[in-house]
Amino acid sequence: MLRSALVSGLTIQLLVLAVFALDVTQFPDDNQHFNRTLAGIMRPRVVGTNGHKEVENFIKRELNTLGFSTEVDQFSERVPILGNVTFTNIIGVLNPNARDFLALACHYDSKYFQDDPGFVAAIDSAVPCATMLNTAKTLSSYLLGDFKDRSDIGLMLIFFDGEEAIKDWSDTDSIYGSRHLAAKLSNTRTSGGLGRSIDRIEVLVLLDLIGAANPKFYSFYPNTYGLHHSLSEIELSLSADRKLEGKNLMFMRRPSTGFIDDDHRPFLQQNVPVLHLITTPFPPQWHTPNDNAANLHWPSIRNFNKIFRAFVYEYLKRHKEQVNLRAAFR
């Protein structure tokens, strides 16, 4: 495909702009589900612990309940401090035989702190993972109705394991799960439905550090600027309709001033278009004991969930032809 990234980005952007009144009232909030889901995830879940295993099982159960087929990508590796541990990426898929995928991703492991075994990692990333499941839940009448069995587009929810460095962040001590999954999805010999499916991911939307007050999201990559702009359009439209709480706008129509290393790196290296939804500057609670339930900012969480739900719905509903945001010359 030689359509330029900009044109494709604009196509999606204009499609969303063309929506006169956003059709989201047909998909109301389900904050009870969000709270229940968050409670299932927001607990200590360091790889190798019982808490981690229970959260893994919780996510798999939720995905099954929401009608997704689930696969796991499991592997063992020797890591600093903890020794030989087993990581488990969880992938939920709707329309597994579709030509292309919209992939939403978060990491479900919590960071290991020797002096803080009770660390619950609320914004990093219990809230992002709960948001992904809540998006699927609130859109389920569409996802299990009109969307089902579409051959042009499927939906992938990826829960990465081992994002956090066990000791000190480095290329080898970080993003264990996403490095493994990107390698697996790019291997033609991978069996099952996901073989060579990395080329079928139209865009990887990575959610991280969400749930604190005053979030600001900037655009990190020119080829997904159109999608980022769409989020901003949706936010303005919902705000004008008085569907959001407060007046703070979180989607900034500006490029970010730098790269933030995260689970998307191995996918980016394989030319997968990335929309990185991470708040900058990082919230002050990041990697401190204060990253807990008491410091979550509920109006921001509810607003994000509304905007993100509309974005996912519009992307899937308006999808007709392949959205090619990959570099034009491969």
Ligand X SMILES: *[C@@H]1O[C@H](CO)[C@@H](O)[C@H](O)[C@H]1NC(C)=O
- For 95-168, where are the E strands, in sequence order? 100-107, 153-160
Which residue among the candidates 56, 100, 109, 208 is catalytic per the annotation? 208
- Binding range to Zn ion, per CB under 5 A, among 119-127, 220-228, 262-270, 294-302: 119-127
- The catalytic residue among 100, 161, 163, 233 is 163
Of 32 and 114, the one with the shorter C-beta distance to ligand X is 32
What is the token pair recorded at 13?
């952007």
* Token output for 222: 């020119």
Number of H helices, E strands in the chain: 9, 8
User: Both tokens of residue 69?
Assistant: 């087929």
- The reply to whether 208 belongs to the active site is yes
Contact 319, 153 (CB under 8 A): yes
Residue number of the CB closest to Zn ion reads 124
Angstrom distances, CA of residue 192 to CA of 97, 125, 176, 310? 11, 29, 22, 31
169 vs 298, which CB is nearer to ligand X?
298
Q: Which does 69 bind (CB under 5 to 8 A by kind): Zn ion, ligand X, none?
A: none
The residue from 4, 31, 74, 295 that contacts ligand X (CB under 6 A) is 31
Task: Tell me how far CA of residue 66 lies from CA of 87, 94, 135, 137, in angstroms.
Answer: 24, 10, 10, 6
Contact 98, 81 (CB under 8 A): no
The distance in angstroms from the start CA to the end CA of the chain is 9
- Please tell me whether residue 295 binds ligand X under the rule CB under 6 A: no
Determine if 124 is a binding residue for Zn ion (CB under 5 A): yes
Region binding ligand X by CB under 6 A among candidate stretches 76-84, 143-151, 161-169, 215-223: 76-84
Taking a C-beta distance cutoff of 8 angstroms, is the pair 90, 178 a contact?
no
Rounded to the nearest whole angstrom, what is the least distance from the CB of residue 36 to ligand X in the complex?
Answer: 9
Task: Choose which of 288, 298, 299, 321 interacts with ligand X (CB under 6 A).
Answer: 298
62 is a catalytic site residue: no
Report the nearest approach of Zn ion to the CB of residue 22 (Å). 33
Q: Is 109 in the site for Zn ion (CB under 5 A)?
A: no
Q: 37 vs 224, which CB is nearer to ligand X? A: 37
Nearest approach, Cβ of residue 169 and Zn ion (Å): 9
Strands 69-79, 100-107: pairing is: unpaired
Binding site for ligand X (CB under 6 A): 31-32, 35, 76, 78, 84, 86, 298
